[in-house]
Amino acid sequence: MASGAPRGGGGGSDVEPIAADRRRLSLSHCDPIGGPRRRSAHGSQDKDRYAELRKVPLFELIKEEVAGKRAISITSVTDKDLRRRSSFKDKDEEILVPPGANAAELKAWVQSLGVGWVCRKGLKPEAPNQDSFSILIVEDTFALYGVYDGHGPSGHDVSDLVRDLLVKLFLAHPLRKDKPDEAFKDAFIECQAMIEMASESMAASSGTTCTMTFHNIPEDTVTVAHVADSRCIHGVRKEGGRPVYTARDLTIDHKPNLDKERQRIENAKPPGRVVFDGFYNYRVFAKAGDYPGLNMSRALGDIVAHRQAGLTAEPDVATLSLRDATGSNQMLLMCSDGVWEFIESLEAIDILASIGQFGSQEQARAGMAKLAKESWDRWMKDSDNDVADDITGICVPLRSRA
């Protein structure tokens, strides 16, 4: 996302020129990144845990909480036709439910709650849809939502891996219910370690953003953890006559030109470099090479960038109390930067609010489709119909139980 970066061609760059069709995208170069590799220092116990997590059924991890309740997992999966999938088409989905439950009925239940989602392929002929999403809801207990924006040659594989692995790591964490902030931090760091252990070749030059929210329904709290720039916002409809909406960013895009991010990158061992690319973005490079060219300062995957350019997988975490929020009609909106590149937070809420009742099933479905179409149209206008990022979002109505 280009928000906060200088616009236009002002400013120089001491790195390899960026191809015109990459200037707004996450990576300045699409080719695999060079640089030395190193053997994993992880032992057999780590590999066993990784294999176990990948194999264990999702609902086995939370079987006690699911017993006697409606529960469902809805996730994206890599398109079977990969790069041949037409632009602006939906990504393939997978629905999981507990044994004996009806998937169609439970999906209709989720939609009746006013939860909406969209995951559309952009205009990038060299790659499939690299975004992913996850929705997990256990009736009257908790909900867990995730948006992942992959980048690099295997970005779709990394976003898929993180979508599966990070969800399970968080669910299995012993502090998940009482201290979700600590559980998130541990899960992100362990997820990165597992990627480095098990996916060296795939994730050397590919990675993903991740924004994940945990809604503790009985406690009326929402905890948000994120790396990179898939933004999460909190929208509120003010009570009274004419509808008035507010939007508050719950995440701050992890951009390398932010003071604390730049300092961490430049003080890393080994240090990285932060360079303005001459167009829209500040990008991260290794000290001694013109790679990776990422326009984000934190991510999952991107093994070379973690080892040579100061990237980190440690998330920022924030908690929202629904009881303290002003206004009974509240909404959570999480989107990849395919939305945020040209649409600001409050405008996104206004687009959703233009479709039906705030937080309604109609708004969730038609509103998310309208937000995706508006994002696509602005990409097309800006690039002369030449390039568009993948577009993914989840909207969730939030109502305090107090």
Tell me the average pLDDT across 152-167.
97
Given a cut of 80, whether residue 44 has pLDDT beyond it is: no
Measuring CA to CA, how many Å separate 201 from each of 82, 83, 298, 302? 20, 20, 20, 10
pLDDT recorded at residue 38: 44
Q: What is the CATH number of the domain that holds 135?
A: 3.60.40
| Domain membership flag for residue 374 | no
| Domain membership flag for residue 241 | no
> Residues 301-342: pLDDT tens digits?
999 999 999 999 999 999 999 987 765 689 999 999 999 999
Backbone φ and ψ of 286, nearest 5°: -65, 155
| Domain membership flag for residue 244 | no
- Cβ neighbors of 179 (< 8 A, separation 6 or more) are none
| Domain membership flag for residue 365 | no
For the chain, count helices (H), then strands (E): 12, 17
Enter the tokens of residue 186: 């541990």
Say if CB 72 and CB 96 are below 8 A apart: yes
| Domain membership flag for residue 302 | yes
The DSSP-derived string for 102-157 is -HHHHHHHHHHTT-EEEEE--B-TTS---EEEEEEEETTTEEEEEEEEEESTTHHH
Place of tokens 């001694």: 288
Tell me the average pLDDT across 202-210.
97
- Of 78-87, 353-362, 376-385, the one with minimum mean pLDDT is 353-362
The Cα–Cα gap between 259 and 261 comes to 5
Place of tokens 């109502």: 399
| Domain membership flag for residue 180 | yes
Residue environment code for 298-336, b if the CB has 16+ CB neighbours within 10 A, otherwise e: bbbbbbbbbbbbbbbbebebbebebeebebebbbbbbbb
- Position 8 confidence tier, pLDDT thresholds 50, 70, 90: very low
| Domain membership flag for residue 369 | no
pLDDT recorded at residue 33: 42
pLDDT recorded at residue 202: 96
Number of domain units in the chain: 1
Q: How far is CA 264 from the centre of its chain?
A: 22
Domain range for residue 174? 20-229+255-324
pLDDT recorded at residue 328: 64
| Domain membership flag for residue 205 | yes
Tell me the average pLDDT across 255-264.
98
pLDDT recorded at residue 2: 38
Total-model pTM: 0.91
